[in-house]
Structures are given as C-alpha cells and as structure tokens.
Amino acid sequence: MDIKKFARKNVLDLNPYLSARKLGGKGEIWLNANESPFKNEYTYTDEGLNRYGECQPPSLILSYAHYAQLPPENVLTSRGADESIDLLIRTFCEPGKDAILYCPPTYGMYAISAEIAGVQRKTVPLTAQWQLDLTSIKKNLKDVKLVFVCHPNNPTGNLMHQEDLITLLNMTQGKALLILDEAYIDFCEKDTGVPLLDKYPHLVILRTLSKAFALAGLRCGFTLAHPSIIQLMLKIIAPYPIPSPVTHIACQALSKEGISRMKKQVDTLNLNRAFFQTELSKLPRSTLFDSQANFMLFQCQDTEAVFSTLWENGIILRRTPIEGLVRLSVGVLEDAKKIIELLQKKHLF
C-alpha cells in the first residue's frame, strides 16, 4: 500500500526544518545549536506523575510574569517558542486565504509552520545591513495577518533598529499582528520590546528558557501579549502542554537565585563571544559580524577549510543560508582556545 497517497500534498512537498540534531555530526564540542554550555543542576520531587498537570501552571506563569515584569494575564507558556509560532498561525490565519510575512535570512520555523498549516508565506529580505526593509514590507502587507521579526535575529545575531520596530508597529496597527521573537533577548535585555506592549496591543513577544537559562532540553517557552490574544491562543493549545517536571524545574530557574545565576552566565558568554571574535579576526581575510546573541557569524579566506577541519576534529559548527558564512555558538573559554590551537596547528592562520 502506498501510504503517501493519503498524505496532504503540502506535507509531501514540504522541505522539513533541519535542526542541529537532524544534521548530526560526531564530536565533543557542540557549537551548532546556540545552546548554553552550562549544565545547571536542579532537583525534582515526584509530585504524582499519575495526574495531569495544569494547562497553564499558575506557579510557572507567575514566575515568568515576575521576570518579564508583566501581569500574569499577559503570559502564556508552551512547549518552547516553536509551539507559540504554530499556535499563532493556527489561531489567526485562514488556510488558503491569509499570509504571514517574514524577513530572511531568519529563523526557519516561521515558514515551516505556515507551510504545514496551508498558509501563504511572503518574504521581504533584510537589507544589506541586515535591517528591516520597511518600504518593501509596507508594499507586501496585503492579506498578511502575522509579521515575524527575530530580535536579535537568527542567524545574523544583530538587533533591529528600535525606531524601525516602532515604525513597523504603527504600519501594522489594525492590519496585522507583529510577532517579535526574543529568543536571545536575555543577552541584551535592555533592547526588549516589552515596554511597547501597553501602547501596541497587536504586539506579541516570544521568549524561551532554551538559551540564556541553559534549558534547551526542557522545551519551555512563553508568549507575552495582550490578554485578548492569550485567551484566543488558549482555545487551541493542547490540554496538557507543560509536563509537571518542566514546571518544577522552570520555576527553580526563574527563582531569584536562578535568575542571578543566569545573568552571571550571560555575562560570561558575552565576554567569551568577544574573545572568540578577537581571536577569529586573526584568520586571513576574516570578517566577524557583530552579534548581540550567544552566537556569531564569520567568514575568512577559506571558510570551508575552517569548517571542515573543525567538524572532522569533533568541533561541530553550522553552515548558514548565507553563502560563505558559518555560525558559531559561544561556548566556554576552553572551547575557543581549542579551536584557535587546532586552526594554528593546521596552518589556517
């Protein structure tokens, strides 16, 4: 029996998102998924796993609301920010009628989630400086319900200009929701869009514990938005999206002590990023791009040789959709030193 004949056509035609784990690799130093190198310890007491947890655990909602400095009614928790992307598209976009708009190069799941849902995808590439092309966005807003902006952007690492974000908010008011993906904002927290939520009820902010909080394996994300948006999303979210152990560990991470530890680790990673950039800038004809996240882009005289050499020696990086550029997650200082020593040994400096 040909099972594929029962599948939806758009699923058959879909090019799936290739996560770092799907791309594979073998090694000891993993710098390809923008994960934190810190392994923080948590405790878990079995609270009765025979019972379902609450859809929106009050302790978790209150903990993140306190961290984000928002009322709890402005917060929804989900299985990573990826689930929020899917929820927003399914909540607000009519398949075959509405569209989303995003600005490549950027995070790939906006497009994948829309394609799975049968929602049209419009793209307005970033400028040569990797900023928003506001003129082109304005021309392409017809039928658009959601505009996705990654801030800081993945894979480029840069922030969008604050004045451009405000212009875009004014441009989309009454027409579409603006989704600001702040997965990496903890590395530059002063640049968050949270203060704009009161003035712009069509602004939605996505957050995660995967990056700065070093909890990629926990799969815990948050949506920050006007209560009316949160209530609509709650209509379609799964009945029990957050496992009880996730709630327990996430609340520890969001405690006063957990947040203090996170901030110290962020400071360390930001310093390590600066060290990486300084050392890699010594490669022949190198270009290091400014980043406000826990990763950076670089290219050099022989980027492919650098990538292959590191990969073959168990140091796993990631190629990007931008030709000739490689993305490197920021690890511990020892990782940087090993990379430099290996490249020197291979005469690539």
CATH of the domain at 119: 3.40.640.10
Q: How far apart are CA 201 and CA 226, in angstroms?
A: 6
pLDDT value at residue 324: 87
Q: How far apart are CA 344 and CA 280, in angstroms?
A: 11
pLDDT value at residue 178: 98
Q: How far apart are CA 288 and CA 99, in angstroms?
A: 35
Q: Which domain holds residue 284?
A: 3-38+258-345
pLDDT value at residue 24: 74
Q: How far apart are CA 211 and CA 62, in angstroms?
A: 20
Regarding whether 120 and 24 lie in a shared domain, the answer is no
Band (333; pLDDT cuts 50, 70, 90): very high
In a domain, 213, yes or no: yes
Alpha helices in the chain (DSSP H): 9-12, 20-23, 58-68, 80-92, 109-117, 134-139, 162-172, 227-234, 244-253, 256-280, 303-312, 333-345
Regarding whether 239 and 143 lie in a shared domain, the answer is yes
Regarding whether 201 and 263 lie in a shared domain, the answer is no
Q: How far apart are CA 31 and CA 328, in angstroms?
A: 6
Average pLDDT over residues 312-339: 92
User: Which residue among 240, 255, 270 closes a domain?
Assistant: 255
Mean of the per-residue pLDDT values of the chain = 94
In a domain, 334, yes or no: yes
Count of structural domains within the chain: 2
Q: How far apart are CA 221 and CA 242, in angstroms?
A: 10
Regarding whether 130 and 235 lie in a shared domain, the answer is yes
Three-state secondary structure along 73-125? Answer: HHEEEECHHHHHHHHHHHHHCCCCCCEEEECCCCCCHHHHHHHHHCCEEEECC
In a domain, 52, yes or no: no
Q: How far apart are CA 220 and CA 33, in angstroms?
A: 16
In a domain, 48, yes or no: no
User: Which residue among 255, 282, 317 closes a domain?
Assistant: 255
pLDDT value at residue 301: 86
Regarding whether 93 and 11 lie in a shared domain, the answer is no
Regarding whether 154 and 198 lie in a shared domain, the answer is yes
The CATH number covering residue 318 comes to 3.90.1150.10
What does DSSP say about strands 221-224 and 75-78: parallel, antiparallel, or unpaired? antiparallel
Regarding whether 137 and 91 lie in a shared domain, the answer is yes
pLDDT value at residue 283: 84
Q: Is 152 helix (H, G, I), strand (E, B) or coil?
A: coil
In a domain, 45, yes or no: no
The per-residue pLDDT for range 83-115, each reduced to its tens digit, is 999 999 999 999 999 999 999 999 999 999 999
pLDDT value at residue 32: 92
pLDDT value at residue 14: 86
Of 158, 128, 125, the closest CA to residue 140 belongs to 125
**This model's pTM is above 0.75:** yes
Q: How far apart are CA 101 and CA 121, in angstroms?
A: 6
Average pLDDT over residues 60-75: 98
State the Cα angle at 53 between 50 and 55, rounded to 5°: 150
pLDDT value at residue 17: 79
Tokens of 295: 């990763």
- Count Cβ atoms below 10 Å from residue 180 Cβ, excluding itself: 25
Regarding whether 139 and 67 lie in a shared domain, the answer is yes
User: Which residue among 235, 255, 275 closes a domain?
Assistant: 255
Regarding whether 327 and 270 lie in a shared domain, the answer is yes
Regarding whether 265 and 250 lie in a shared domain, the answer is no
In a domain, 66, yes or no: yes
The per-residue pLDDT for range 173-226, each reduced to its tens digit, is 999 999 999 999 999 999 999 999 999 999 999 999 999 999 999 999 999 999
Regarding whether 329 and 281 lie in a shared domain, the answer is yes
Edge-first strand listing for the sheet containing 318-319: 287-288, 295-299, 326-329, 318-319
